[in-house]
Every structure is written in C-alpha cells, then in structure tokens.
Amino acid sequence: MVNIVSFNINGLRARLPRLLEFLEREKPDIVCLQELKGEPDALPTDQVEAAGYKALWHGQKGFNGVAFLSRGDGDLKLRRAGLPDDPAPEQARYIEAEAHGLIVASIYLPNGNPVGSEKFGYKLEWMARLEQHAAALLAEERPVVLAGDYNVIPEDRDTFSVKAMAHDALMQPESRAALRRIVHQGWTDALRQVHPDDDRLYTFWDYQAAAWPRDAGFRIDHFLLSPQAADRLAGAGVHKWARGEEKASDHAPVWLQLHDA
C-alpha cells in the first residue's frame, strides 16, 4: 500500500510544528505540499529530513511554493519544476516527481480572484496549460497522481453556500469547465469516487466568520488519478481533525491510498 497526502500548509515557517506532528502521527509515504510561502534556502528543511523524509522543493519568496516529502530511503526523482509554457514561470505552483513507482504532481493552482481581473485570466490560462500537460501525462499510460490545491469547487454540493460563493473565482462556470475538461480526459476525482454521497466533503474552512465551528467549508483540494492509478484506488479521505488543531492551516490534509502494483 502507498499512502499519499496532499496538504496546503499556508506557510511552512508558521506551520512546521503542525507538519512535523502530522508526519509523526500519520507517517505517509509521500506528502505533496502547497503554499510554502518561502524560498527553499529559508526553510527549515533539515528538521523535515530529521523526521525521516527526503524533500524536493520549488519555492519563491513570500508566495506560492510547492514540495514533495518522501518517507525513508525510497526513490524521489524530480521530473520537472513548473508547467511547460507556464504563463508566469516565476510563480512556484507546480512540481512533478517520480516516487514509489508513481508519477506524482504537487499543484497550487491560481486563486483567480477577483473575477474579471488579470488574475482570473491567469487562472484560466494556467488551467489550459495544465490541461495540455495532463493529456501528455495520460499518454504515458502509467499510474499518475495529480494532487494539490486546485482552487476550484467542482459542484454546488462542494460548498457550504452557493450564494456566499457565487461571485468567487473558485466556482465560476469557466473555472469549473476548465477542471471538467481535464477530468474528462480520463482522470478520476478520487475523493468524490470514494465518497459519492457525502455532501459535506470539505477540505478548506476560512479563518474568518467562524467558518470552522460552523463547518462552513468547501472542497478545493483534489486527487486526480490516471486510469492506471485509479485501478489501484484503495481509499481516500480528509484528515479533518487537523483543521481543529491550534495554529492550523485553513486547509485540512487530504489522503489517498493506492494498492501496490
């Protein structure tokens, strides 16, 4: 069994104690991190390595930043940092590696707010580039896991309030259509596949307006599996408990289990 976690930590410096506790408790084989908010040199990677993980980083000062952690001495080989033809390559939003016989990507997709701004256009352009690259990955006919914070609420039932989010970039028809175009290439949304009837399957709760105690969340962190990975799907879920910890990220870690090949 291979255990994979994707976690938008919202600042590695601020979240390091929570991350180290999480690694000790769950001991996942592969961790895909997003929103490091720091350059690799400024980050305490030695403590992560002391916890038993090898790391691969693609970071920048202050914003964005994605990484992998791989447990033990297992292979962890970089395939690429950044998307092909990335419209803003200085933004560290994509890293892809080979680990445990899988191709894995850690994705931090642009937020895109406010709608109608340059940022929204950048989001859609970035998603078009991801669509192209995802098609190339599918063509390899290998087990591939595209993990991360997609900043897209796939369906109305994936948010606590359609009305509250109606004007948000995360659930605009264009954002959803762009995600659907990728999924319809042949990817499996693992969390929805495993929990087809859960209408409170959330991965994010805002810090504001008592969103967490009200369970006013939405689902924006996703695992997309190639057919060769989906055939091995054993389980998937949300580590919701982590959102209730002191000094928690506003995202909960999401997890995926794949049977051995």
182: helix, coil or strand? helix
Q: Which is nearer to DNA, 10 or 228 (CB)?
A: 10
Whether 214 contacts 181, CB under 8 Å: no
Pick out residues in 22-61 that bind DNA (CB under 7 A).
35, 37-38, 42, 61
Nearest to 95 by CA among 110, 113, 77: 77
132: helix, coil or strand? helix
Residue 88 as a binder of DNA (CB under 7 A): the answer is no
Residue 202 as a binder of DNA (CB under 7 A): the answer is no
Q: Which is nearer to DNA, 111 or 228 (CB)?
A: 111
Residue 209 as a binder of DNA (CB under 7 A): the answer is yes
Residue 258, number of CB atoms within 10 A of its CB = 27
Q: Which is nearer to DNA, 82 or 110 (CB)?
A: 110
Please, what is the minimum distance in Å from the beta carbon of residue 113 to DNA? 4
Residue 247 as a binder of DNA (CB under 7 A): the answer is yes
Count the site residues for DNA by CB under 7 A.
31
In one-letter notation, the amino acid at residue 70 is S
Contacting residue, 13, 25, 80, 214, with DNA by CB under 7 A: 13
Residue 46, φ and ψ in degrees, nearest 5:
-65, -35
Q: How far apart are the first and last CA of the chain?
A: 9
Residue 248 to residues 24, 205, 223, 245, Cα–Cα distance (Å): 16, 11, 21, 5
**Of 3-11, 24-32, 72-80, 234-242: span binding DNA (CB under 7 A):** 3-11
Residue 220 as a binder of DNA (CB under 7 A): the answer is yes
Contacting residue, 3, 151, 188, 226, with DNA by CB under 7 A: 151
Pick out residues in 91-120 that bind DNA (CB under 7 A).
110-111, 113, 119
Structure tokens at 88: 């803003």
Between CA 48 and CA 55 the distance in angstroms is 8
Residue 3 to residues 31, 59, 99, 145, 171, Cα–Cα distance (Å): 9, 24, 12, 12, 29
Whether 55 contacts 82, CB under 8 Å: no
Pick out residues in 160-189 that bind DNA (CB under 7 A).
168, 170
Q: Which is nearer to DNA, 43 or 224 (CB)?
A: 43
Please, what is the minimum distance in Å from the beta carbon of residue 45 to DNA? 14
The contact set with DNA (CB under 7 A) reads 8, 10-15, 35, 37-38, 42, 61-63, 110-111, 113, 119, 149, 151, 168, 170, 204, 206-209, 218, 220, 247, 250
